[in-house]
Amino acid sequence: MINRVVLVGRLTRDPELRTTGSGISVATFTLAVDRQYTNAQGERGADFISCVIWRKSAENFCNFTSKGSLVGIDGRIQTRSYDNKDGQRVYVTEVVVDNFALLESRKDREARGQNGGFAPTDNGNFGNPNTNNPQNMGTSNQNNPVGNQPDSMQDPFAGSGDTIDISDDDLPF
SS3 label, residue 115 = coil
164 vs 127 pLDDT, higher one: 164
Nearest CA to 138 among 113, 108, 116?
108
What is the structure's pLDDT at 108? 79
What is the structure's pLDDT at 40? 86
Nearest CA to 125 among 111, 138, 139, 137?
111
Local confidence band at 125 (pLDDT 50, 70, 90 cut-offs): very low
Nearest CA to 71 among 81, 62, 79?
62
Report the alpha-carbon distance of residue 109 to residue 31 in Å, rounded: 16
Question: For the chain, what is the mean pLDDT?
Answer: 78
Residues 6+ apart with CB under 8 A from 89: 81, 82, 83
The length of the chain in residues reads 173
pLDDT in tens, 3-41: 999 999 999 999 999 999 999 999 999 999 999 888 888
Local confidence band at 109 (pLDDT 50, 70, 90 cut-offs): confident
Residue 109 parent element (H or E): helix 106-114
Domains delineated in the chain:
5-153 (2.40.50.140)
**Whole-Å CA distances, 144 to 33, 65, 135, 151:** 30, 26, 15, 7
Give the strand pairing for 44-54 and 70-83.
unpaired
Report the alpha-carbon distance of residue 158 to residue 64 in Å, rounded: 33
